[in-house]
Amino acid sequence: PVTRKYEFTLGTSAGSPDGFERLMYTINNQFPGPTIEANQGDIIEVTVHNNLDHPQAIHWHGIRQRGTNHMDGVPGISQCPIAPGATFVYRFTLESEMGTYWYHSHYGNTMADGLVGAFIVHAKNDPWVKKRDYDDERVMFLSDWNDYLSEFIVHRMHDYSEGYKGQGIPTQPDAILINGVGQRDCATAQPDATCLTTKPYELQGQIGSRIRLRLINPGAHGMVRFSIDQHVLQVIEVDDTPIEPLYLKELALDPGQRASVVIHLNRGGQFSSFWIRGGLAAKCVFGGHFITGFAVLRYTDFKGDPWSIGSPVTAPWPGLGDGETLCQDIDELWDVKPKIVEKPPPTAFSVQQMGTSFGQFVDRESHEPFIGFGMNSVNFVNMINDPALAHVEDGIPINGSNVATLVYETDGVGGADVIINQLDVGLTHPFHIHGRPFHILARGSGEMTPEKVKDIQVNLVNPLYRDTLTIGSRAWALVRIPTDNPGVWPIHCHIGWHLSSGKLGLIVIRPDVVRSFQKPQEWQALCTGDKNEIGPGR
């Protein structure tokens, strides 16, 4: 097999993606980071040099890591972090993956500072040539962005000093970025700040062609609603699952989620350039504000020369792009059908549940109460130098008061059923499970229990499978994880502020197999720090 090698140097840069200059974390001085592009079956080798002043780790979102749980990149769970100045090599094989993935740091919410990139896996032996149902493809990142470093925002969320009440609520985002560029409203920025006008990202494509956009939301805060004036979005992929095509004018993506849309550049009438819009409804329930990021779609002629210069003058599709649709939390991908029907395996084991909520917890050290996020009422305490994976490998129990853990002792042919009860009212959360896409068997509003779930209708015929699922205000989903990928896999909210405030639990699939894993030597060498050191996540 082909080995594809990458070198990543994590460092700091001053950047102004939305016009407002701030300190950022970058990979090889780039934001977004370099794209990893490979074929199914390839071996990926990424050498990560940590030139930051804090520990780090990189997670490959959606990649299975079958048999390489040690390369999953989560400090305190699947590895000890890479210390400042240290280097670590991630090495794994792309077995059954194909589609749109991404990577990001998994330390605190530092992915919100710029440590993100795309990870594209093509079919086996696909030479990446234009022989598909579309002529070209591009990655398009859609995300919220803040004026401040994540560390500062997380600190404020939990700061109770001098009468300041963080209440666990992050600051509102300041801009939406499309492929790393956004337009901050400089009028609301601090007066002494450098706030400049930015040039929106421009997507150029030949008239008549079809372009596949691989949309990725690497954001920290919430759902981004995506649209292109006058263009229909043909949705063909949800996370990495090919789906029966769906035609939409607008599509919402939550942090962690991906979707591929094909656009046909056939709207050549009056215009030759169009606005691309990414709108975020920042906390509609708490009376927040709307922010939109803009990019440009510009047609070119057959020689590749742009048909026009200057800004588009197009308007959004009627009824879209205003506060109304932004606030509704509509999930257009609720009912999509997978193109390749993968029947979920039978469940041979008990159903377990993960109830998640916002609430009051007590700090271990200071014994002070604080508002945080929990999974089964446990606020994740991240022992960064004592990874949970090592506990399972060594047959030592995971401390259940540090992290909510569901263990599935299976024979490897069945499925692990998880009821995710999202108990917060007025909030929606995208839940991500590492290791493998899961089948969505049923969902509903209110709360579900292992007793009641026996009597409900489930879809065992053609359920959608994906790796990040949005669950609305006080609602639930029943998901089945095929147990063909043993490991210690996080289940967490992909809103970075919630993740870094303890909204993470574990699903342990087949501990008997995990006990036979070999700890790689370079991996063990990372674990030299104090085992009791608590990292972000709390």
Minimal distance, residue 27 CB to ligand C2O, in Å: 16
The count of residues in the chain is 538
Question: Token digits for 508?
Answer: 């342990």
Binding flag, residue 61, ligand C2O (CB under 6 A): yes
Minimal distance, residue 463 CB to ligand C2O, in Å: 22
The stretches of 353-502 forming alpha helices (DSSP H) are 388-393, 496-499
Minimal distance, residue 219 CB to ligand C2O, in Å: 11
Choice between 158 and 494, CB closer to ligand C2O: 494
* Per-residue CA distances from 182 to 28, 178, 341, 403 (Å): 21, 6, 39, 37
Q: Residue 43: beta bridge partners?
A: 3, 93
CA angle 458, 464, 466 (to 5 degrees): 125
Separation CA 100–CA 102 (nearest Å):
7
Choice between 61 and 221, CB closer to ligand C2O: 61
Choice between 42 and 72, CB closer to ligand C2O: 72
What residues from 389 to 428 belong to the interface with ligand C2O (CB under 6 A)? none
Choice between 34 and 41, CB closer to ligand C2O: 34
* Per-residue CA distances from 34 to 43, 74, 115, 118 (Å): 17, 20, 10, 7
Separation CA 173–CA 450 (nearest Å):
38
Contact between residue 437 and residue 466 where contact means Cβ atoms under 8 Å apart: yes
Binding flag, residue 536, ligand C2O (CB under 6 A): no
* Per-residue CA distances from 514 to 24, 316, 390, 433 (Å): 37, 51, 9, 17
Separation CA 186–CA 172 (nearest Å):
15
Q: Which among 103, 187, 106 has a CA at the least distance from the CA of 150? A: 106
* Per-residue CA distances from 400 to 187, 286, 382, 405, 507 (Å): 48, 34, 12, 6, 12
Q: Is 223 helix (H, G, I), strand (E, B) or coil?
A: coil
Binding flag, residue 498, ligand C2O (CB under 6 A): no
Out of 434, 439, 498, 510, the only residue in the binding site for ligand C2O (CB under 6 A) is 434
Separation CA 70–CA 366 (nearest Å):
33
Choice between 158 and 434, CB closer to ligand C2O: 434
Q: Where are the beta strands (DSSP E) in 199-253?
A: 202-206, 210-216, 224-228, 233-238, 241-248, 251-253
Choice between 256 and 279, CB closer to ligand C2O: 256
Minimal distance, residue 121 CB to ligand C2O, in Å: 16
Minimal distance, residue 79 CB to ligand C2O, in Å: 13
Binding flag, residue 490, ligand C2O (CB under 6 A): yes
Which of the stretches 10-18, 236-244, 372-380, 490-498 binds ligand C2O when contact is defined by CB under 6 A? Answer: 490-498
Which of the stretches 44-52, 421-429, 477-485, 486-494 binds ligand C2O when contact is defined by CB under 6 A? Answer: 486-494
Binding flag, residue 158, ligand C2O (CB under 6 A): no
Which of the stretches 4-12, 115-123, 271-279, 488-496 binds ligand C2O when contact is defined by CB under 6 A? Answer: 488-496
Binding flag, residue 59, ligand C2O (CB under 6 A): yes
Q: Is 522 helix (H, G, I), strand (E, B) or coil?
A: helix
Minimal distance, residue 503 CB to ligand C2O, in Å: 11
Separation CA 183–CA 19 (nearest Å):
6
Residues 255-274, mask of contacts with ligand C2O (x by CB under 6 A)? -x------------------
Which of the stretches 143-151, 200-208, 283-291, 489-497 binds ligand C2O when contact is defined by CB under 6 A? Answer: 489-497
What residues from 88 to 107 belong to the interface with ligand C2O (CB under 6 A)? 104, 106
Minimal distance, residue 62 CB to ligand C2O, in Å: 8
* Distance linking the first and last C-alpha atoms of the chain: 41
Binding flag, residue 429, ligand C2O (CB under 6 A): no
Choice between 174 and 254, CB closer to ligand C2O: 254
Separation CA 194–CA 182 (nearest Å):
15
Contact between residue 373 and residue 498 where contact means Cβ atoms under 8 Å apart: yes
Choice between 61 and 225, CB closer to ligand C2O: 61
Contact between residue 321 and residue 227 where contact means Cβ atoms under 8 Å apart: yes
Binding flag, residue 64, ligand C2O (CB under 6 A): no
Q: Which residue is nearest to ligand C2O (CB)?
A: 61
Separation CA 178–CA 347 (nearest Å):
41
Choice between 170 and 435, CB closer to ligand C2O: 435
Binding flag, residue 492, ligand C2O (CB under 6 A): yes
Choice between 104 and 298, CB closer to ligand C2O: 104
Binding flag, residue 432, ligand C2O (CB under 6 A): yes
Binding flag, residue 502, ligand C2O (CB under 6 A): no
By CB under 6 A, name the binding residues for ligand C2O: 59, 61, 104, 106, 256, 432, 434, 490, 492, 494
